[in-house]
Every structure is written in structure tokens, then in C-alpha cells.
């Protein structure tokens, strides 16, 4: 198992996702002799997990069952242990596309936080890209590095425990893309520029407050970045319901015909009137070739 490569069978040392239901999943480190308790009873790793195919339905000790899934960045985002606020897949999808990430991309990121975005970046840039991620909180940096090893993606990532606003990313002229998720991104813009390739690249900064966005945009313009734009991604869940629609009457049917009052049942969707759930603003910019 690796977060960037699929394996068919569960092995000792893997991180597997136990799926109890759509809103109830948990990651487990698979170990000989270990047990995991669920509301359906215990799962015995040696007999219930090791050697089984990913996707298998496993019966727990109380007779209930769960599915065991191969980990993905999306599943990790909804099951990871939170050490900070994290980015979710809705924003991550937009970030990945707008930063033009692809296999082979070199990316600089700060802060690492809980590593939610980092895992998605790693899956996209594998097998030949590299992520340089900077986190100034020592324990968070160490835990992220340990998770990258456990998830067998550590060959694709370098974790640096330093202040990106003071010390930058620790690399110069290598990045195709830079991502910032820190309280004062404007202080890191000059370091972002230094980290980027001379042929240019893309930058994204995530901030919850518009005042942070304003200061970041000013710093980006001052540093010579172009195509600066800010957007907010809002998830719009549509309600699906069945409505009854009358068949159109084109006037050709006799007035007593039952078809004049006939109706058909159709499925339709309605968007919500209000969309709660502001996460943050995503500011994108391009650094042109120098
Ligand atoms: C909101 S979290 C990042 C979450 C991350 N994007 C994720 O998806 O898991 C912000 C992180 O930035 C770190 N941080 C804040 N300012 C920093 C700085 N100047 N240099 C490095 N890390 C910083 C914090 O310690 C925190 O862990």
C-alpha cells in the first residue's frame, strides 16, 4: 500500500480505511495481532485484514460488517487526525487544477498543518515530482514527516521545520507552483517568488478573511505577479425530488379526453436558497518568465 500506488491486498504495516458508513470511517494501522473496536464489534487484523483484498466486506465480532478500503487522499482528508484546520476536497480540487499540477511538478507548500492538502498534491505529482513543505510548529512537522513515511510517500516530499516568512522554503528556482495556507501570506510572497523556476509558475494563497486577501494581492502585485484573481468555492447541494408536470395541451384533443388532464412524474432538483459554509478565499497568481 502507498498513497500514490494501488495494491490489491492488505499487508502488515498498511494504513487501511475502515468504512462503517458514508459518514463514519476510520483509518487503522494494520498490525499482526492487533484488534480494532467498532460499533459492530472487533476486527482482528491477523485474520480479518492481512491478506484480504482491499474493498472486502469484513464481518466483525458482533456479527455486523464493514468494508476495508484502500487509502486515498480524499479518504485521508475525511479521516485524518486533526492537528490544525485543514483543507477539504472541494477547495483542493480547485487548487490542483488552477495550480496546473501534474506528474513531475515541483511544489512548495506552507504550512503543512495536518497534511490534508499535502497528500493530494503528492498523489498528483507522483511518481517524479517533489513537494517541499514548510511548517514552523516542530511537532506538526515531525508528525507530518512520520505520516509521509507510514504512507510510503516520503521519497516525494521534504518537510522543513522553519518559519516560511523569515527563512523561505529552503529551495531556490525549482518550484512550478507555490501554495500558502498561513495567517500572513503577504510576508511569504518574496520567498515564494525566490522558490519558483525562472520560467515562471503559479501561486495560490488560501485565507479565510478578505483583509488577508487584500494584503496578499498587494504584495503579489508589488512582487511582479500577474493574473491575480480571487475566488471562493461553495458547494451547492441540490435537493432531488419528484414533481408532477401536466402534459402539454396543444388544443388538438377533445375537451372530454382524459389525456387533457394527464400528468407525468419527473425528477427535478432545487438548489438551496442560501449556501452556508465559507471556508476561505483562494487567490491565484502567475509569475511570468524572468
Ligand atoms: C491551517 S494550517 C494548514 C493546513 C493544511 N493546508 C492542511 O490542509 O492540512 C496552517 C499551518 O501553518 C503553520 N504556519 C503558520 N505560519 C507559519 C509560518 N510563518 N511558517 C511555517 N508554518 C506556518 C501553522 O503552524 C499551521 O500548522
Please report, rounded to a whole number, the percentage of residues in the chain having pLDDT higher than 70. 99
**249 marked ligand binding residue:** no
Any ligand 1 atom below 6 A from CB of 111:
yes
Is the C-beta atom of 117 inside 6 A of ligand 1?
A: yes
Q: Is 79 in the pocket of ligand 1 (CB under 6 A)?
A: no
User: Could you read off the pLDDT of 238-256 as tens digits, one per residue?
Assistant: 889 999 988 877 777 777 7
pLDDT score recorded for residue 256: 75
pLDDT at 273: 77
**Residue 200 marked in a binding site:** no
Buried b / exposed e over 59-96, threshold 16 CB at 10 Å, is ebeeeeebebbbbebbbbbebbeebeebbbbebbebbb
Q: What is the pLDDT of residue 8?
A: 97
Residues of the chain with confidence (pLDDT) below 50: none
Pocket residue to mutate for ligand 1, from 76, 78, 111, most atoms within 8 A of Cβ: 111
Task: Judge contact between 108 and 169, C-beta under 8 A.
Answer: yes
CATH number of 9-71, picked from 3.90.1150.10, 3.10.330.20, 1.10.1740.10, 1.10.510.10: 3.10.330.20
Domain 75-234+278-287, what fold? Rossmann fold (3.40.50)
pLDDT digits (tens, 9 = 90+) for 4-13: 999 999 999 9
- Say what the pLDDT of residue 235 is: 84
- Cα 238 vs. chain centroid, distance in angstroms? 22
Q: Hey, where are the domains in the chain? A: 9-71, 75-234+278-287
Cβ(163) – ligand 1 distance below 6 Å: yes
Q: Consult the annotation and say whether 2 binds a ligand.
A: no
Amino acid at each position: 500500500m502507498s498513497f500514490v500506488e494501488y495494491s490489491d491486498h492488505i499487508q502488515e504495516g498498511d494504513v487501511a480505511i475502515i468504512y462503517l458508513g458514508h459518514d463514519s470511517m476510520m483509518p487503522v494501522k494494520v498490525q499482526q495481532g492487533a484488534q480494532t473496536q467498532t460499533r459492530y464489534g472487533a476486527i482482528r487484523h491477523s485474520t480479518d485484514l492481512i491478506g484480504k483484498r482491499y474493498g472486502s466486506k469484513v464481518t466483525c465480532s458482533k456479527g455486523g460488517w464493514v468494508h476495508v478500503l484502500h487509502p486515498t487522499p480524499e479518504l485521508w482528508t475525511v479521516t485524518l487526525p486533526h492537528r490544525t484546520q485543514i483543507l477539504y476536497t472541494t477547495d483542493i480540487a480547485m487548487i490542483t487544477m488552477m495550480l496546473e499540477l501534474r506528474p513531475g511538478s515541483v511544489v512548495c507548500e506552507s504550512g503543512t498543518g495536518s497534511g490534508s492538502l499535502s497528500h493530494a498534491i503528492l498523489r498528483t505529482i507522483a511518481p517524479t515530482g517533489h513537494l517541499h513543505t514548510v511548517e514552523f510548529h516542530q511537532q506538526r512537522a515531525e508528525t507530518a514527516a512520520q505520516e509521509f513515511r507510514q504512507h510510503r510517500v516520503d521519497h516525494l516530499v521534504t518537510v522543513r521545520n522553519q518559519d516560511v516568512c523569515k527563512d523561505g522554503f529552503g529551495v531556490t528556482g525549482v518550484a512550478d507552483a507555490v501554495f500558502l495556507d498561513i495567517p500572513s501570506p503577504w510576508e511569504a510572497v518574496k520567498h515564494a517568488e525566490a522558490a519558483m523556476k525562472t520560467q515562471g509558475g503559479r501561486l495560490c494563497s488560501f485565507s479565510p478573511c478578505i483583509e488577508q486577501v487584500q494584503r496578499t494581492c498587494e504584495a503579489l502585485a508589488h512582487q511582479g505577479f500577474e493574473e491575480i484573481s480571487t475566488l471562493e468555492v461553495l458547494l451547492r447541494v441540490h435537493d432531488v425530488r419528484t414533481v408532477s408536470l401536466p402534459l402539454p395541451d396543444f388544443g388538438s384533443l377533445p375537451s372530454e379526453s382524459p389525456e387533457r388532464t394527464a400528468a407525468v412524474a419527473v425528477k427535478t432538483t432545487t438548489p438551496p436558497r442560501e449556501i452556508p459554509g465559507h471556508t476561505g478565499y483562494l487567490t491565484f497568481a502567475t509569475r511570468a518568465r524572468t
